[in-house]
A and B are shown apart, each in its own frame.
Chain A
């Protein structure tokens, strides 16, 4: 088991009240899995994604990622876990506008302390994997939305993370570009990359091996 959430609760204080967002969420993901989590907005799926992505700690419950108890880590250790085990793909790409595609992709390696030469090499390989070998020196504003998302995927996989965490990866793309991104996901999963994807589009979710639903903070599934 690469990722195991058990009985996760997450409350947010709102004024004097505390609002429960996640209620008793349990989820196990095995290596090589490809799961989709579906839910309408406000269902708690972004909070779940933040918890899974080690950006947030649950109020209660346990989360074991690659054998590490996330609740017991400090800020710096969390940063290291995110760097080594998780690759993020965001709806809005979140590329740094001043850096080239290659530099954007090599950024996680910089934080991992990899040498400059090795960073450039690995970034080039990752960009090749997403079909952008000829766009390495382009800046985000010279690339289309689909290409940007592919750069972001390259950035997510460049450090060989344990899981690829995608939050509405096709939300900002047209159908054709979205299709390309999904093909890359499929290809990566075939190569053994574990993928956790959050989406509200049934068409996209159907690509995953398992589909979970979240509503009002309660996770149900999986549907095979």
Chain B
């Protein structure tokens, strides 16, 4: 076997030009596949990063009516949905997949917030004392909500960075100032920022629309004070911090079941809790990307087929050229199987070499693509290994017919061949 391989290398080396031309089809095919796969993998990793990296493994569970998140700005509060309590929160935190749980009030409709004459469209959230921990926020200036803020229903507010820069464009210190939410004055006590600054990578307008929704300004008030600008019996949403990214779906599903358990049968027919699964969203986006790229993979595979036929052609030429050699070998005692293996090995070595060169070419191509187009690429090691094995298989498949032809040569005719 080892001798066959080294003989095959000698054969390939002695016909350098021909071998390279023969391998070219395989090289191009494999390089195309590797670079496409790298692009798919890179894009997918970026999608996951963009969606989940921003969320700190946070899974939001909220009330849905059908496929729409329930919105209290337009709709009446559904009956039969109990308000969440500390007990529910503790129950959620007891789940294996959940590290932290927080419940909060919010409306998807952006509210007009005023500081003096400056207005700003922001999302108002009524939060408990766990919310900032779940999302990985920290108090940059001022203070966090105190227990007494909750107990005494104080009209205090913490704003995020976007809200601050919109409301205080002149750089006034916001701490201690008064802003209006629905005409009701609230005192700003703090400004929060994210611990890990995460900027999603934006390559296109679509990316911007997909990933930039979260970065609109947010205004936080104690959930106890929610009833001051809004209604006290609006059902809350829950946000969970999953122990890791891969547990996000599980955590969301389990929490959703627990919360739905609080609803009566008749209520559940109208509304139910659903987890907003970022991992699933990422998967959906990835699937979309992958399915378009997979079309390209088919085209690249055709190049492999053409390459394989080229290998078969050149192996047939090689068998004809070496008819006398085959005849001599058979005359001095080489069995059919040995001749068969010799040619199969040669074809397999030729295409494997092409495969390896193709992988190298594909990696280079992927690098060049990511340089030129900012499209992300990630090299997939298993894909590279499969590519080499696959090209070896092409050699065996397309080398089989020529090898059988060689093995079945009649030694008498072969020796007399000119």
Spell out A's residues near B (CB within 8 Å).
50, 53, 55-56, 75-76, 79-80, 82-84, 88, 90, 94, 96, 98, 107-108, 110-112, 155
Per-residue contact bits, chain B 320-340, to A (CB 8 Å; 1 contact, 0 not):
000011011111111111100
A83 engages B333 (CB within 8 Å): yes
Assess A88 versus B331: contact at CB under 8 Å? Given A56-B412, A110-B3: yes
The residues of B that contact A79 with a CB separation of less than 8 Å are: 330, 333-336
A98 engages B335 (CB within 8 Å): no
The residues of A that contact B360 with a CB separation of less than 8 Å are: none
Assess A75 versus B336: contact at CB under 8 Å? Given A50-B412, A94-B324: yes
B336 engages A76 (CB within 8 Å): yes
B332 engages A155 (CB within 8 Å): yes
Can you pick out 14 interface pairs between chain A and chain B where the beta carbons lie within 8 Å of each other?
Answer: A50-B412, A56-B412, A76-B337, A79-B330, A79-B333, A82-B333, A83-B332, A94-B328, A96-B328, A98-B10, A108-B333, A110-B3, A111-B333, A155-B332
Query: In the assembly, what is the distance between CA of A35 and CA of B335, in Å?
Result: 29
Assess A111 versus B336: contact at CB under 8 Å? Given A50-B412, A94-B324: no
The residues of A that contact B325 with a CB separation of less than 8 Å are: 96
Enumerate B364-418 residues with CB–CB distance to A below 8 Å: 411-412, 415
Contact of A76 among B331, B335, B411 (CB under 8 A): B335
B14 CB–A CB distance under 8 Å:
yes
User: Which 3 pairs, one residue from A and one from B, show the smallest C-beta to C-beta distance?
Assistant: A83-B333, A111-B333, A94-B328
Query: In the assembly, what is the distance between CA of A53 and CA of B411, in Å?
Result: 11
Contact of B332 among A50, A56, A98, A107 (CB under 8 A): A107
The residues of B that contact A55 with a CB separation of less than 8 Å are: 331, 411-412
Query: In the assembly, what is the distance between CA of A96 and CA of B331, in Å?
Result: 13
Q: Across the two chains, which residue of chain B brings its CB closest to A85?
A: B333
Query: In the assembly, what is the distance between CA of A55 and CA of B332, in Å?
Result: 10
Q: Across the two chains, which residue of chain A brings its CB closest to B334?
A: A111
Query: In the assembly, what is the distance between CA of A96 and CA of B7, in Å?
Result: 12
Enumerate B44-58 residues with CB–CB distance to A below 8 Å: none
Assess A111 versus B412: contact at CB under 8 Å? Given A98-B10, A98-B14: no
Enumerate B236-262 residues with CB–CB distance to A below 8 Å: none
Query: In the assembly, what is the distance between CA of A110 and CA of B333, in Å?
Result: 9
Spell out B's residues near A (CB within 8 Å).
3, 10, 14, 324-325, 327-338, 411-412, 415
Q: Across the two chains, which residue of chain B brings its CB closest to A94?
A: B328
A80 engages B333 (CB within 8 Å): yes
Q: Across the two chains, which residue of chain B brings its CB closest to A156?
A: B332
Q: Across the two chains, which residue of chain A brings its CB closest to B322?
A: A96
Assess A94 versus B415: contact at CB under 8 Å? Given A110-B3, A111-B338: yes
Query: In the assembly, what is the distance between CA of A7 and CA of B34, in Å?
Result: 67
B335 engages A111 (CB within 8 Å): yes
The residues of A that contact B333 with a CB separation of less than 8 Å are: 79-80, 82-84, 108, 111-112
How far is the CB of A12 from the nearest CB of chain B, in Å? Answer: 11
The residues of B that contact A88 with a CB separation of less than 8 Å are: 331-332
Query: In the assembly, what is the distance between CA of A88 and CA of B411, in Å?
Result: 13
The residues of B that contact A84 with a CB separation of less than 8 Å are: 333
How far is the CB of B326 from the nearest CB of chain A, in Å? Answer: 11
The residues of A that contact B334 with a CB separation of less than 8 Å are: 79, 111
Supply 13 further A-B pairs (C-beta < 8 A) apart from A79-B336, A82-B331: A50-B412, A55-B331, A76-B337, A79-B334, A83-B333, A94-B324, A94-B327, A94-B328, A107-B329, A108-B332, A110-B3, A111-B338, A112-B333
How far is the CB of A200 from the nearest CB of chain B, in Å? Answer: 17
B332 engages A90 (CB within 8 Å): no
The residues of B that contact A94 with a CB separation of less than 8 Å are: 324, 327-328, 331, 415
Query: In the assembly, what is the distance between CA of A176 and CA of B329, in Å?
Result: 29
Query: In the assembly, what is the distance between CA of A116 and CA of B274, in Å?
Result: 72
Query: In the assembly, what is the distance between CA of A88 and CA of B331, in Å?
Result: 8
How far is the CB of B406 from the nearest CB of chain A, in Å? Answer: 14
How far is the CB of B407 from the nearest CB of chain A, in Å? Answer: 10
Contact of A111 among B10, B332, B415 (CB under 8 A): B332
The residues of B that contact A112 with a CB separation of less than 8 Å are: 333
Contact of B415 among A75, A80, A90, A110 (CB under 8 A): A90
Query: In the assembly, what is the distance between CA of A71 and CA of B10, in Å?
Result: 38
Query: In the assembly, what is the distance between CA of A84 and CA of B335, in Å?
Result: 13
Query: In the assembly, what is the distance between CA of A80 and CA of B14, in Å?
Result: 31
The residues of A that contact B415 with a CB separation of less than 8 Å are: 90, 94
A82 engages B332 (CB within 8 Å): yes
Query: In the assembly, what is the distance between CA of A36 and CA of B279, in Å?
Result: 87
The residues of A that contact B337 with a CB separation of less than 8 Å are: 76
How far is the CB of B355 from the nearest CB of chain A, in Å? Answer: 25
The residues of B that contact A98 with a CB separation of less than 8 Å are: 10, 14
Query: In the assembly, what is the distance between CA of A111 and CA of B325, in Å?
Result: 14
Q: Across the two chains, which residue of chain B brings its CB closest to A87?
A: B332
Query: In the assembly, what is the distance between CA of A143 and CA of B320, in Å?
Result: 26
How far is the CB of B334 from the nearest CB of chain A, in Å? Answer: 5
B335 engages A53 (CB within 8 Å): no
The residues of B that contact A76 with a CB separation of less than 8 Å are: 335-337
Query: In the assembly, what is the distance between CA of A75 and CA of B411, in Å?
Result: 11
Query: In the assembly, what is the distance between CA of A75 and CA of B338, in Å?
Result: 13
How far is the CB of B340 from the nearest CB of chain A, in Å? Answer: 12
Query: In the assembly, what is the distance between CA of A112 and CA of B338, in Å?
Result: 12
The residues of A that contact B328 with a CB separation of less than 8 Å are: 90, 94, 96
Q: Across the two chains, which residue of chain A brings its CB closest to B411?
A: A55
The residues of A that contact B338 with a CB separation of less than 8 Å are: 111
Name the residue among A55, A76, A98 with the largest chain B CB count within 10 angstroms: A55
Name the residue among B331, B333, B338, B415 with the largest chain A CB count within 10 angstroms: B333
Query: In the assembly, what is the distance between CA of A80 and CA of B333, in Å?
Result: 6
